[in-house]
Copies of this chain bind each other. A is one copy, B any other.
Amino acid sequence: MANSETLDRTFAACSHPIRRGILERLAAGTLSVGQATGDFGVSKPAISRHLRILEEAGAIVRVVDGRTHLLSLPDRDPGLDDAYGWMTRQRAMWERKLDVIEDVLTEQRAAARKEQP
């Protein structure tokens, strides 16, 4: 069972375009903070806040190398795995429900056709 707080933090981490943008850039590999966060057109404090939310969710890892801070995605992100799993289960449950509704409607239509003269 997925830890609920981990899910909260992962979904919240993904709920802002700048944070998703940082995660997309890092999917290509390790980057400096400047490379990962440049060109978003927001203040440094705003960027720092986004990075803190991503770090607290375990979605990114920061390694300090002298004066350079390097950011990367973790080898394994249990939060992203859990969030993906939750969405997969939710979609599967709902699609099964829709299939059942469709089956019932199909049967009703067939029965209605039989009753027609």
Interface residues of A (CB under 8 A from B): 4, 7-9, 11-12, 14-17, 20, 23-24, 27-29, 73, 75, 80, 83-84, 86-88, 90-91, 93-94, 97-98
Q: What's the number of copies of this chain in the assembled complex?
A: 2
| Contact call B11/A11, Cβ cutoff below 8 A | yes
Which secondary structure dominates chain A's binding surface?
A: helix
* Complex CA distance for A11 and B15, rounded to whole angstroms: 5
Tell which of B4, B23, B29, B98 touches A97, judged by Cβ atoms closer than 8 Å.
B29
- In the bound assembly, the distance between CA atoms of A84 and B17 in angstroms comes to 15
Known: A7-B20, A11-B11, A12-B11. A73 touches B94 (CB 8 A): yes
B83 touches A98 (CB 8 A): no
